[in-house]
Copies of this chain bind each other. A is one copy, B any other.
Protein backbone atom coordinates (compact mmCIF):
# COMPACT_ATOMS: atom_id res chain seq x y z
CA UNK A 1 0.00 0.00 0.00
CA UNK A 2 1.23 3.51 -0.79
CA UNK A 3 2.40 5.35 2.32
CA UNK A 4 1.81 9.08 2.50
CA UNK A 5 4.36 11.07 4.48
CA UNK A 6 1.87 12.48 6.98
CA UNK A 7 -1.64 11.47 7.94
CA UNK A 8 -3.84 14.20 9.43
CA UNK A 9 -6.89 13.34 11.51
CA UNK A 10 -9.32 16.16 10.73
CA UNK A 11 -9.68 18.03 7.46
CA UNK A 12 -10.29 21.60 8.62
CA UNK A 13 -8.36 24.79 8.06
CA UNK A 14 -5.52 23.84 10.40
CA UNK A 15 -4.89 20.76 8.29
CA UNK A 16 -5.22 22.81 5.11
CA UNK A 17 -2.56 25.28 6.24
CA UNK A 18 -0.29 22.44 7.38
CA UNK A 19 -0.52 20.98 3.87
CA UNK A 20 0.06 24.38 2.25
CA UNK A 21 3.30 24.80 4.18
CA UNK A 22 4.39 21.28 3.25
CA UNK A 23 4.16 21.66 -0.50
CA UNK A 24 7.57 23.25 -0.91
CA UNK A 25 9.07 20.20 0.83
CA UNK A 26 7.09 17.91 -1.53
CA UNK A 27 5.45 16.23 1.42
CA UNK A 28 2.45 14.01 0.66
CA UNK A 29 -0.54 14.05 2.99
CA UNK A 30 -3.51 11.82 3.68
CA UNK A 31 -6.49 13.25 5.56
CA UNK A 32 -9.52 11.91 7.42
CA UNK A 33 -12.70 13.93 7.82
CA UNK A 34 -16.43 13.21 7.67
CA UNK A 35 -16.75 15.91 5.01
CA UNK A 36 -15.51 14.93 1.54
CA UNK A 37 -15.30 18.64 0.71
CA UNK A 38 -13.51 19.76 3.86
CA UNK A 39 -10.85 22.46 3.64
CA UNK A 40 -7.90 20.08 3.60
CA UNK A 41 -9.51 17.27 1.58
CA UNK A 42 -9.14 19.18 -1.66
CA UNK A 43 -5.38 19.50 -1.40
CA UNK A 44 -4.37 16.30 0.35
CA UNK A 45 -3.09 13.49 -1.86
CA UNK A 46 -5.59 11.06 -0.38
CA UNK A 47 -8.74 11.78 1.59
CA UNK A 48 -10.69 9.27 3.64
CA UNK A 49 -14.31 10.14 4.43
CA UNK A 50 -15.07 8.94 7.93
CA UNK A 51 -15.91 9.91 11.48
CA UNK A 52 -13.09 11.11 13.70
CA UNK A 53 -14.60 8.88 16.41
CA UNK A 54 -14.46 5.78 14.24
CA UNK A 55 -11.45 3.59 15.11
CA UNK A 56 -11.73 1.81 11.75
CA UNK A 57 -11.46 5.09 9.84
CA UNK A 58 -8.50 6.19 11.96
CA UNK A 59 -6.86 2.81 11.40
CA UNK A 60 -7.36 3.18 7.65
CA UNK A 61 -5.58 6.53 7.77
CA UNK A 62 -2.77 5.05 9.87
CA UNK A 63 -2.37 2.19 7.42
CA UNK A 64 -1.52 4.58 4.59
CA UNK A 65 0.50 7.14 6.59
CA UNK A 66 4.09 7.08 7.80
CA UNK A 67 3.22 9.22 10.84
CA UNK A 68 -0.02 10.58 12.29
CA UNK A 69 -1.02 13.94 13.68
CA UNK A 70 -4.36 15.63 14.30
CA UNK A 71 -5.74 19.10 13.87
CA UNK A 72 -8.66 18.82 16.28
CA UNK A 73 -8.98 17.30 19.77
CA UNK A 74 -12.41 15.69 19.37
CA UNK A 75 -11.18 12.41 18.05
CA UNK A 76 -11.07 8.83 19.27
CA UNK A 77 -8.01 8.89 21.53
CA UNK A 78 -8.35 5.19 22.44
CA UNK A 79 -7.91 4.33 18.79
CA UNK A 80 -4.66 6.31 18.84
CA UNK A 81 -3.44 4.48 21.94
CA UNK A 82 -4.08 1.16 20.20
CA UNK A 83 -2.14 2.37 17.17
CA UNK A 84 0.76 3.47 19.34
CA UNK A 85 0.86 0.04 20.97
CA UNK A 86 0.99 -1.44 17.45
CA UNK A 87 4.05 0.68 16.67
CA UNK A 88 2.55 3.72 14.95
CA UNK A 89 3.81 7.17 15.86
CA UNK A 90 1.13 9.70 16.75
CA UNK A 91 2.13 13.29 17.52
CA UNK A 92 1.30 14.59 20.06
CA UNK A 93 0.88 11.25 21.83
CA UNK A 94 -2.54 9.88 22.73
CA UNK A 95 -1.83 10.18 26.46
CA UNK A 96 -1.30 13.92 26.07
CA UNK A 97 -4.43 14.16 23.98
CA UNK A 98 -6.42 12.37 26.70
CA UNK A 99 -5.16 14.80 29.34
CA UNK A 100 -6.17 17.72 27.17
CA UNK A 101 -9.52 16.32 26.01
CA UNK A 102 -10.67 16.31 29.63
CA UNK A 103 -10.52 19.81 31.13
CA UNK A 104 -10.62 18.16 34.57
CA UNK A 105 -7.51 16.06 33.91
CA UNK A 106 -5.87 19.14 32.40
CA UNK A 107 -6.52 21.10 35.61
CA UNK A 108 -5.17 18.23 37.70
CA UNK A 109 -2.06 18.18 35.48
CA UNK A 110 -1.54 21.90 36.12
CA UNK A 111 -1.85 21.59 39.90
CA UNK A 112 0.29 18.45 40.07
CA UNK A 113 3.11 20.32 38.31
CA UNK A 114 2.70 23.64 40.11
CA UNK A 115 1.65 25.34 36.88
CA UNK A 116 -0.23 28.51 37.86
CA UNK A 117 -3.92 28.24 37.02
CA UNK A 118 -7.20 29.58 38.43
CA UNK A 119 -8.59 27.72 41.52
CA UNK A 120 -11.18 25.07 40.58
CA UNK A 121 -13.36 22.23 41.74
CA UNK A 122 -14.39 19.16 39.78
CA UNK A 123 -18.06 18.20 40.02
CA UNK A 124 -20.16 15.44 38.49
CA UNK A 125 -23.76 16.25 39.39
CA UNK A 126 -26.09 18.77 41.01
CA UNK A 127 -25.30 17.61 44.54
CA UNK A 128 -21.61 18.08 44.00
CA UNK A 129 -22.19 21.49 42.41
CA UNK A 130 -24.07 22.76 45.41
CA UNK A 131 -21.55 21.30 47.83
CA UNK A 132 -18.66 22.86 45.88
CA UNK A 133 -20.28 26.27 45.89
CA UNK A 134 -20.82 25.96 49.62
CA UNK A 135 -17.21 24.91 50.25
CA UNK A 136 -15.60 27.60 48.08
CA UNK A 137 -16.01 31.30 48.18
CA UNK A 138 -16.27 31.76 44.41
CA UNK A 139 -18.55 34.74 43.97
CA UNK A 140 -18.38 34.24 40.23
CA UNK A 141 -17.12 31.23 38.31
CA UNK A 142 -16.83 29.60 34.93
CA UNK A 143 -18.44 26.21 34.60
CA UNK A 144 -16.82 24.18 31.83
CA UNK A 145 -17.90 20.77 30.60
CA UNK A 146 -14.92 18.49 31.17
CA UNK A 147 -15.27 17.05 27.66
CA UNK A 148 -16.70 18.25 24.36
CA UNK A 149 -16.58 22.03 24.83
CA UNK A 150 -15.20 24.11 21.98
CA UNK A 151 -14.91 27.76 20.99
CA UNK A 152 -16.95 28.92 23.98
CA UNK A 153 -19.55 26.16 23.72
CA UNK A 154 -19.86 24.11 26.91
CA UNK A 155 -18.77 27.06 29.02
CA UNK A 156 -21.03 29.17 31.23
CA UNK A 157 -20.08 32.18 33.33
CA UNK A 158 -22.15 32.16 36.52
CA UNK A 159 -22.67 34.31 39.61
CA UNK A 160 -22.77 32.01 42.63
CA UNK A 161 -25.67 33.96 44.10
CA UNK A 162 -27.77 33.33 41.04
CA UNK A 163 -27.66 29.60 41.69
CA UNK A 164 -28.04 29.96 45.45
CA UNK A 165 -31.13 32.14 44.88
CA UNK A 166 -32.54 29.72 42.28
CA UNK A 167 -32.40 32.50 39.69
CA UNK A 168 -30.76 30.15 37.22
CA UNK A 169 -30.49 26.41 36.99
CA UNK A 170 -27.29 24.46 36.96
CA UNK A 171 -26.45 24.53 33.25
CA UNK A 172 -24.65 21.22 32.77
CA UNK A 173 -25.74 17.91 34.31
CA UNK A 174 -22.39 16.37 33.38
CA UNK A 175 -18.84 16.32 34.78
CA UNK A 176 -17.63 19.90 34.97
CA UNK A 177 -14.76 22.07 36.08
CA UNK A 178 -15.98 24.96 38.22
CA UNK A 179 -13.27 27.56 37.99
CA UNK A 180 -13.03 30.71 40.06
CA UNK A 181 -13.56 33.72 37.84
CA UNK A 182 -10.54 35.97 37.97
CA UNK A 183 -10.84 39.18 36.05
CA UNK A 184 -8.18 39.11 33.34
CA UNK A 185 -6.24 42.16 32.34
CA UNK A 186 -5.20 40.43 29.15
CA UNK A 187 -5.56 37.10 27.42
CA UNK A 188 -2.39 35.92 25.78
CA UNK A 189 -1.29 32.78 24.00
CA UNK A 190 2.11 31.28 23.35
CA UNK A 191 2.91 28.62 20.78
CA UNK A 192 5.61 26.13 21.73
CA UNK A 193 7.14 23.66 19.30
CA UNK A 194 8.95 20.77 20.95
CA UNK A 195 10.96 18.10 19.16
CA UNK A 196 11.68 14.44 19.90
CA UNK A 197 15.06 15.39 21.39
CA UNK A 198 13.48 17.85 23.83
CA UNK A 199 14.65 20.94 21.94
CA UNK A 200 12.00 23.62 21.69
CA UNK A 201 11.17 26.86 19.92
CA UNK A 202 8.91 29.25 21.76
CA UNK A 203 7.04 31.90 19.78
CA UNK A 204 6.45 35.41 21.11
CA UNK A 205 3.22 35.84 23.01
CA UNK A 206 0.18 37.05 21.13
CA UNK A 207 -2.47 39.17 22.76
CA UNK A 208 -6.14 38.61 22.05
CA UNK A 209 -9.28 40.60 21.93
CA UNK A 210 -12.43 38.53 22.10
CA UNK A 211 -15.81 39.18 20.56
CA UNK A 212 -17.95 39.22 23.74
CA UNK A 213 -20.91 37.68 21.90
CA UNK A 214 -19.24 34.92 19.92
CA UNK A 215 -16.50 34.33 22.51
CA UNK A 216 -14.09 33.90 19.60
CA UNK A 217 -10.81 35.67 18.99
CA UNK A 218 -11.47 38.51 16.58
CA UNK A 219 -8.22 40.41 16.75
CA UNK A 220 -4.76 39.32 17.78
CA UNK A 221 -1.51 41.20 18.08
CA UNK A 222 1.99 39.78 18.06
CA UNK A 223 4.07 40.46 20.08
CA UNK A 224 1.74 41.01 23.04
CA UNK A 225 1.96 44.44 24.71
CA UNK A 226 3.54 43.18 27.93
CA UNK A 227 6.87 44.11 29.43
CA UNK A 228 9.94 41.98 28.90
CA UNK A 229 9.94 40.44 32.38
CA UNK A 230 6.33 39.34 32.04
CA UNK A 231 6.98 38.10 28.51
CA UNK A 232 9.90 35.99 29.72
CA UNK A 233 7.82 34.69 32.60
CA UNK A 234 4.99 33.73 30.26
CA UNK A 235 7.39 31.94 27.92
CA UNK A 236 9.00 30.07 30.80
CA UNK A 237 5.57 28.92 32.00
CA UNK A 238 4.58 27.85 28.48
CA UNK A 239 7.77 25.87 27.92
CA UNK A 240 7.46 24.31 31.38
CA UNK A 241 3.91 23.15 30.56
CA UNK A 242 5.05 21.30 27.46
CA UNK A 243 8.16 19.88 29.12
CA UNK A 244 6.08 18.57 32.02
CA UNK A 245 3.66 17.06 29.48
CA UNK A 246 6.69 15.58 27.73
CA UNK A 247 4.99 16.89 24.63
CA UNK A 248 6.32 16.44 21.11
CA UNK A 249 4.57 18.53 18.49
CA UNK A 250 3.11 22.01 18.38
CA UNK A 251 1.12 23.37 21.32
CA UNK A 252 -0.77 26.56 22.11
CA UNK A 253 -0.74 27.61 25.74
CA UNK A 254 -3.56 30.05 26.46
CA UNK A 255 -3.00 32.23 29.50
CA UNK A 256 -4.62 35.03 31.47
CA UNK A 257 -2.68 37.97 32.83
CA UNK A 258 -4.49 39.02 36.00
CA UNK A 259 -4.95 42.60 37.17
CA UNK A 260 -2.22 41.87 39.72
CA UNK A 261 0.17 40.87 36.93
CA UNK A 262 0.06 37.14 37.62
CA UNK A 263 -0.04 34.67 34.78
CA UNK A 264 -2.54 31.82 34.95
CA UNK A 265 -2.63 29.04 32.40
CA UNK A 266 -6.11 28.60 30.99
CA UNK A 267 -5.71 25.67 28.64
CA UNK A 268 -3.45 23.88 26.22
CA UNK A 269 -4.21 22.91 22.62
CA UNK A 270 -2.06 20.05 21.25
CA UNK A 271 -2.05 21.28 17.64
CA UNK A 272 -1.63 24.39 15.48
CA UNK A 273 -3.88 27.08 16.90
CA UNK A 274 -5.86 30.09 15.80
CA UNK A 275 -3.50 32.22 17.87
CA UNK A 276 -0.57 31.09 15.69
CA UNK A 277 -1.97 31.85 12.24
CA UNK A 278 -0.03 35.10 12.02
CA UNK A 279 3.22 33.14 12.26
CA UNK A 280 2.87 32.20 8.55
CA UNK A 281 3.80 35.70 7.47
CA UNK A 282 5.00 37.22 10.73
CA UNK A 283 7.66 34.74 11.89
CA UNK A 284 10.74 33.20 10.31
CA UNK A 285 9.22 29.75 10.81
CA UNK A 286 5.45 29.34 11.13
CA UNK A 287 3.68 27.08 13.62
CA UNK A 288 2.72 24.84 10.69
CA UNK A 289 6.26 24.52 9.43
CA UNK A 290 7.49 23.71 12.95
CA UNK A 291 4.99 20.84 13.17
CA UNK A 292 6.01 19.66 9.70
CA UNK A 293 9.64 19.68 10.66
CA UNK A 294 8.93 17.59 13.75
CA UNK A 295 6.82 15.12 11.77
CA UNK A 296 9.56 14.86 9.12
CA UNK A 297 12.31 14.74 11.77
CA UNK A 298 13.98 17.92 10.53
CA UNK A 299 15.27 20.44 13.09
CA UNK A 300 13.02 23.17 14.42
CA UNK A 301 13.30 26.60 12.80
CA UNK A 302 13.76 29.98 14.39
CA UNK A 303 10.42 31.21 15.74
CA UNK A 304 11.30 34.87 16.13
CA UNK A 305 9.26 37.53 14.38
CA UNK A 306 10.13 39.05 11.02
CA UNK A 307 7.74 41.94 11.59
CA UNK A 308 5.03 42.72 14.14
CA UNK A 309 1.67 41.32 13.08
CA UNK A 310 -2.05 41.24 13.67
CA UNK A 311 -4.57 38.54 12.83
CA UNK A 312 -8.28 38.99 12.23
CA UNK A 313 -10.63 36.03 12.03
CA UNK A 314 -13.10 36.16 9.15
CA UNK A 315 -16.29 35.02 10.89
CA UNK A 316 -19.69 34.26 9.48
CA UNK A 317 -22.08 37.13 10.31
CA UNK A 318 -24.85 36.59 12.87
CA UNK A 319 -27.66 37.41 10.48
CA UNK A 320 -27.58 34.61 7.94
CA UNK A 321 -26.54 31.10 7.01
CA UNK A 322 -25.78 30.45 3.37
CA UNK A 323 -23.46 31.32 0.51
CA UNK A 324 -21.45 34.46 0.93
CA UNK A 325 -19.07 36.90 -0.69
CA UNK A 326 -16.34 39.13 0.64
CA UNK A 327 -16.80 42.88 0.86
CA UNK A 328 -13.84 45.23 0.62
CA UNK A 329 -11.38 42.56 -0.49
CA UNK A 330 -9.95 44.74 -3.26
CA UNK A 331 -9.45 47.65 -0.90
CA UNK A 332 -7.49 45.73 1.66
CA UNK A 333 -5.38 43.78 -0.85
CA UNK A 334 -3.85 47.08 -1.93
CA UNK A 335 -2.34 47.58 1.53
CA UNK A 336 1.23 46.27 1.90
CA UNK A 337 1.44 43.21 4.11
CA UNK A 338 -2.23 42.19 4.16
CA UNK A 339 -2.84 38.47 3.52
CA UNK A 340 -6.22 36.82 3.15
CA UNK A 341 -6.51 33.11 3.90
CA UNK A 342 -9.82 31.49 3.02
CA UNK A 343 -10.79 28.08 4.36
CA UNK A 344 -12.80 26.74 1.43
CA UNK A 345 -16.10 26.83 3.30
CA UNK A 346 -19.01 26.97 0.88
CA UNK A 347 -21.53 28.07 3.49
CA UNK A 348 -21.34 30.82 6.09
CA UNK A 349 -22.97 30.26 9.48
CA UNK A 350 -23.09 32.67 12.43
CA UNK A 351 -19.58 32.95 13.88
CA UNK A 352 -18.21 30.18 11.67
CA UNK A 353 -14.52 30.67 10.93
CA UNK A 354 -14.44 31.22 7.17
CA UNK A 355 -10.87 32.47 6.96
CA UNK A 356 -8.43 34.88 8.49
CA UNK A 357 -6.43 37.94 7.57
CA UNK A 358 -2.84 38.48 8.63
CA UNK A 359 -1.37 41.96 8.68
CA UNK A 360 2.34 42.66 9.03
CA UNK A 361 4.18 45.97 9.22
CA UNK A 362 7.41 47.59 10.31
CA UNK A 363 6.04 48.75 13.67
CA UNK A 364 3.20 47.78 15.99
CA UNK A 365 1.59 51.16 15.29
CA UNK A 366 1.73 50.61 11.56
CA UNK A 367 0.12 47.19 12.03
CA UNK A 368 -2.62 48.69 14.21
CA UNK A 369 -3.42 51.37 11.64
CA UNK A 370 -3.66 48.80 8.86
CA UNK A 371 -5.71 46.42 11.01
CA UNK A 372 -8.21 49.15 11.88
CA UNK A 373 -8.55 49.93 8.17
CA UNK A 374 -9.11 46.25 7.40
CA UNK A 375 -11.74 45.96 10.13
CA UNK A 376 -13.53 49.00 8.74
CA UNK A 377 -13.43 47.96 5.07
CA UNK A 378 -13.74 44.21 5.11
CA UNK A 379 -16.77 42.06 5.67
CA UNK A 380 -18.72 38.97 4.75
CA UNK A 381 -22.04 39.41 2.94
CA UNK A 382 -24.87 37.16 1.89
CA UNK A 383 -24.88 36.45 -1.84
CA UNK A 384 -28.14 37.15 -3.66
Contacts and interface: CB of A to CB of B under 8 A. Distances in A.
Interface of A: 16-17, 19-20, 23-26, 42-43, 45, 284-285, 293, 298-302, 304, 306-307, 329-330, 333-337, 339-344, 360
A384 to B, nearest CB: 20
A19 to B, nearest CB: 8
A343 B329 CA distance: 31
Which A-B residue pairs are the 9 nearest by beta carbons? A302-B336, A24-B341, A284-B336, A26-B344, A20-B23, A26-B342, A284-B337, A299-B334, A299-B330
A277 to B, nearest CB: 11
B342 A25 contact: yes
A304 B334 CA distance: 12
Contacts of A285: 336
Assembly stoichiometry (copies): 2
Contacts of A340: 24-25
A36 to B, nearest CB: 14
Nearest to A25: B342
Nearest to A42: B45
B301 A336 contact: yes
5 contacts: A24-B340, A26-B343, A298-B333, A301-B333, A306-B360
Contacts of A330: 298-299
Nearest to A337: B284
A24 B339 contact: yes
Contacts of A307: 306
Contact of A306 (B42, B298, B301, B306): B306
Contacts of A304: 336
A12 to B, nearest CB: 14
A192 to B, nearest CB: 17
A43 B24 contact: no
Given A26-B344, A284-B337, 19 more contacts: A16-B23, A17-B24, A19-B23, A20-B23, A23-B23, A23-B43, A24-B339, A24-B340, A25-B340, A25-B342, A42-B45, A284-B336, A284-B360, A298-B329, A298-B333, A299-B333, A301-B336, A302-B334, A302-B335
A33 B299 CA distance: 35
A342 B293 contact: no
A302 B23 CA distance: 25
A333 B20 CA distance: 18
A302 B332 CA distance: 11
A296 B341 CA distance: 15
A298 B332 CA distance: 11
A91 to B, nearest CB: 18
Contacts of A24: 17, 20, 339-342
Contacts of A293: 333
Given A26-B342, A344-B26, A337 B302 contact: yes
A48 B120 CA distance: 60
Nearest to A284: B336
Nearest to A16: B23
